[in-house]
Amino acid sequence: SFKVEKFQLQRGRRRRGSPCFGESEGLVKNGIGDADGIIIVDHGSRRRESNLMLEEFVKMFKEKTGYPIVEPAHMELAEPSIKDAFSLCVQQGAKRVVVSPFFLFPGRHWHTDIPSLTADAAKEFSGISYLITAPLGPHNLLLDVVNDRIQHCLSHVEGDADECLVCAGTNKCKLYNSS
Amino acid sequence: SFKVEKFQLQRGRRRRGSPCFGESEGLVKNGIGDADGIIIVDHGSRRRESNLMLEEFVKMFKEKTGYPIVEPAHMELAEPSIKDAFSLCVQQGAKRVVVSPFFLFPGRHWHTDIPSLTADAAKEFSGISYLITAPLGPHNLLLDVVNDRIQHCLSHVEGDADECLVCAGTNKCKLYNSS
């Protein structure tokens, strides 16, 4: 399966002395504490395979970060929904829920759909706060991902590297010639 | 505008002594040379704004990497198409075209649509080789992008950081409270 390098996360390390509010037992400022739930939500697809890829990604994220409460969600077309994930977070003790849209760029879903679905989910509970992060892009690291894909595939077709994990076994990563 | 940190790219550095084939003047093994064209292709949207975001991202990529021939493309619904971008690459001297799908995960578009659109585009030319890289995910760096979004937004709502560039001016990045 996909190798996940652990990265050292300063969980709970307070950035700058910021005014505390709502500091409760176990809640850690700016870090992720035991009362924080993370939801990573993609668009959702009729193809089960696509949905499973997001759910696998979320497992990797939980493993890599060590955050206590992390749930996948699909905005539409598949379960778990945002509502399902929100309630799972609260059941596990979350008092603050961070919804992270797994979308390439800000668009209608980020601007409108996900906020309203999350507000709807939150209505079922009281005393829970939530916020919605920016989507993936634009972000400098996405530039590195694209470059890494290009470099790796070129290395492979030149015989210097194996296929990457995505291409492995598909025989797709090769040089084609025009007529 | 979006700050792009330059990264040092060993352009043209040969990885391991691999058998050369088709080494022509200026073609650099495993690195990106003057006869290599890069196409970064997304799904394409009816929303002009989304298409412009990919095109802006491709500008940042060209600036950050310094690759000589880099073109954006949209798989459908918008121009430039893969065919447009492929011919622009050849016009600029590309003998090898690397198509990098800007998609979150491998799906139908990666497996079928983009390969056939690229083969179609290549038919117009002779003596040009091309390859299609893996999509963005799954990739370890995407885990870091998600985590960076979460950490940044939490820092912002705690007063420790400005809004990120995506949220700037939208007033979206704040803590909402359930009923």
Give the tens place of pLDDT for each residue, A66-79.
Answer: 999 999 999 999 99
Q: What is the mean pLDDT of residues B150-156?
A: 93
Q: What is the DSSP letter of A38?
A: E
Range A15-32 average pLDDT: 40
Q: Which residues contact A67 (CB under 8 A, 6 or more apart)?
A: A11, A32, A36, A38, A61
Cα torsion A5, A7, A11, A15 to 10°: value is -150
Q: A159 in the Ramachandran plot: left (φ > 0), alpha (ψ -120 to 50) or beta?
A: left
* Least reliable range by pLDDT among A8-12, A90-94, B75-79, B80-84: A8-12
Could you tell me how many CB contacts below 8 A there are between chain A and chain B? 257
CA–CA gap between residue B3 and residue B165 (Å, rounded): 10
| Span A86-104, average pLDDT | 98
Question: Is pLDDT larger for residue B81 or for residue A178?
Answer: B81
| pLDDT score recorded for residue A105 | 93
Amino acid B172: pLDDT: 86
The CA R_g of chain A, rounded to the nearest whole Å, is 19
pLDDT band for position A167 (50/70/90)?
confident
Would you say B42 and B113 are in contact if contact means Cβ atoms under 8 Å apart?
Answer: no
Calculate mean pLDDT across residues A115-130: 97
Q: Is the pLDDT higher at B27 or at A164?
A: A164
Query: What CA–CA distances, in Å, run from A168 to A53, A153, A173?
Result: 16, 11, 8
What confidence category does residue B165 fall into, taking pLDDT thresholds of 50, 70 and 90?
confident
| Residue A2 CB neighbours (<10 A) | 13
| pLDDT computed for residue B58 by the predictor | 97
What is this model's ipTM? 0.83
Minimal Cα–Cα distance from B158 to chain A, Å?
Answer: 7
What's the angle, vertex CA A170, arms to CA A140 and CA B61, rounded to 5?
Answer: 20
Q: Which residue has the higher pLDDT, B24 or B154?
A: B154
Confidence of residue A11 (pLDDT cuts 50, 70, 90): very low
Q: Phi/psi of residue B72, each to 5°?
A: -85, 155
Kindly indicate the confidence band of residue A10, based on its pLDDT and cuts at 50, 70 and 90: very low
Helix (H) or strand (E) holding A97: strand A96-101
Percent of chain A predicted with pLDDT > 90: 71
The yes-or-no verdict on residue B71 having pLDDT over 80 is yes
Q: To probe the interface with B, which of A28, A154, A171 has the most B CB atoms within 10 Å?
A: A154
pLDDT at residue A8 tops 50: no
Residue A150: list chain B partners with CB under 8 A. 32, 38, 98, 100, 133
Q: What's the rounded mean pLDDT across residues B70-91?
A: 98
Comparing C-alpha atoms, which of A124, A136, A64, A60 is closest to residue A97? A124
- Band of residue B27 on the pLDDT scale cut at 50, 70, 90: very low
- C-alpha dihedral sign at A44, A49, A52, A54: negative
Residue A164 pLDDT grade (very low, low, confident, very high; cuts 50, 70, 90)? confident
Q: Of A50, A136, A160, which is closest to B15 when you measure between CB atoms?
A: A160
Q: What percent of chain B is modeled with pLDDT above 70?
A: 83
Residue of A nearest to B154 (CA): A30
DSSP state of A105: S
Residue B125 makes CB contacts below 8 A (sequence gap 6+) with A178, A179, B86, B87, B90
- B42: chain A residues, CB-CB within 8 Å: 104
- Averaged pLDDT of chain A: 84
Q: Where are the beta strands (DSSP E) in chain B?
A: 36-42, 69-74, 96-101, 129-132, 176-177
pLDDT of residue B170: 84
Give the pLDDT of residue B31: 81
Residue type, A172: K
Asked whether residue B87 carries a pLDDT value surpassing 60, the answer given is: yes
Confidence of residue A168 (pLDDT cuts 50, 70, 90): confident
- Read off the pLDDT of residues B111-149 as tens digits, 9 standing for 90 and up: 999 999 999 999 999 999 999 999 999 999 999 999 999
At A30 the pLDDT is: 47
Per-residue pLDDT at A41 = 98
